Amino acid sequence: MGIRLILYLAIIFLGGIVGYKDLVHKTVVSKMNLIQSLCLLSLLFIMGIKIGGDKKVISSFFKLGYQAVIISVFSIALSVLFVMAIKKFVIDKDEEEGDENEC
């Protein structure tokens, strides 16, 4: 499992470098939203096949579903709060400094 995590982090890091250096053609960048959506939908479809084929998951679906809903709600709520805090303290502060420099 540790090797996979390192591989995933390395791929993310490599993608960040490629994006930062503008090494991707502009037509690919303009289609990035579509590419991401298609990849996400493919991943969800494959996960659905894997989950549907596992009899243990299906038999304990309601117990796992209840826990998944609780985890999801808290994850979404805390993510939104974190983004709002970052926006308030970092982005808004940068905009205020920019307004002061214009005077």
pLDDT digits (tens, 9 = 90+) for 42-77: 999 999 899 888 888 778 877 777 888 899 999 999
Q: Spell out the residues 6+ positions from residue 52 whose beta carbon is closer than 8 angstroms to its own.
A: 58
Q: Is residue 44 located within the same domain as residue 2?
A: yes
- Whether residue 64 sits in one domain with residue 42: no
Measured CA to CA in angstroms, residue 90 lies from 49, 78, 98 at distances of 42, 18, 12
| Same domain (yes/no): 42, 91 | no
Based on the domain organization, do 88 and 49 belong to the same domain?
Answer: no
Domain that holds residue 20: 1-54
Q: Which tens digit of pLDDT belongs to each residue from 79-103? A: 999 999 888 887 766 666 666 666 5
| In a shared domain, residues 68 and 93 | yes
The last residue of a domain, from among 14, 37, 54: 54
Judgement on whether residues 20 and 48 belong to the same structural domain of the protein:
yes
pLDDT of residue 91: 73
Report the number of distinct structural domains present in the chain: 2
64 within 8 A of 57, measured Cβ to Cβ = yes
Please check whether residues 23 and 42 belong to one and the same domain: yes
Q: Tell me: the pLDDT tens digits for 10-34?
A: 999 999 999 889 888 888 888 999 9
